[in-house]
């Protein structure tokens, strides 16, 4: 039993070591200027490794640096301070570069 609990704790702690990618559905984002402002806000954070904004599908994807996490309240504040609404935030398994590639962006 102790070995099983130790294994579970080790597994749980190791999950936080790697980068985390979050997909944020954003309402009200309609132009390149909107996308640029949101991207700049997230890119200036030292805990964020990469950002991708998709205007056509109204979402932003951010990837944290290894071992870091980005709080949902912080994400919501950045988006709402820029004048938009957050509809949904979810953790996804793909990296920002993989998502960028899926949507044909450079």
In DSSP notation, 58-73 reads TEEEEEEPTT----HH
Q: Is residue 88 part of a domain?
A: yes
Provide the CATH number for the domain around residue 28: 3.30.70.100
Predicted confidence at residue 60, as pLDDT, reads 97
Q: What is the dihedral of CA 82, 24, 21, 12, to 10 degrees?
A: 110
Rounded distance between C-alpha atoms, residue 35 and residue 83, angstroms: 12
Residue 8 has what pLDDT?
A: 46
- pLDDT tens digits for range 21-79: 999 999 988 888 888 999 999 999 999 999 999 999 999 999 999 888 899 999 999 99
In this prediction, residue 104 has a pLDDT band, given cuts at 50, 70 and 90, of: confident
| Structural domain of 59 | 18-102
State the total domains in the chain. 1
């Amino acid at each position: 039993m102790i070995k099983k609990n130790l294994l579970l704790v080790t597994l749980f702690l190791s999950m936080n070591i790697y980068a985390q990618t979050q997909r944020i559905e954003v309402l009200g984002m309609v132009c390149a200027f909107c996308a640029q402002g949101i991207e700049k806000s997230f890119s200036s954070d030292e805990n964020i490794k990469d950002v991708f904004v998709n205007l056509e599908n109204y979402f932003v994807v951010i990837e944290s640096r290894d071992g870091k996490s980005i709080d949902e309240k912080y994400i919501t504040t950045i988006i709402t301070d820029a004048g938009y609404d957050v509809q949904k935030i979810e953790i996804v398994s793909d990296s920002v570069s993989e998502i960028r590639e899926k949507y044909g962006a450079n």
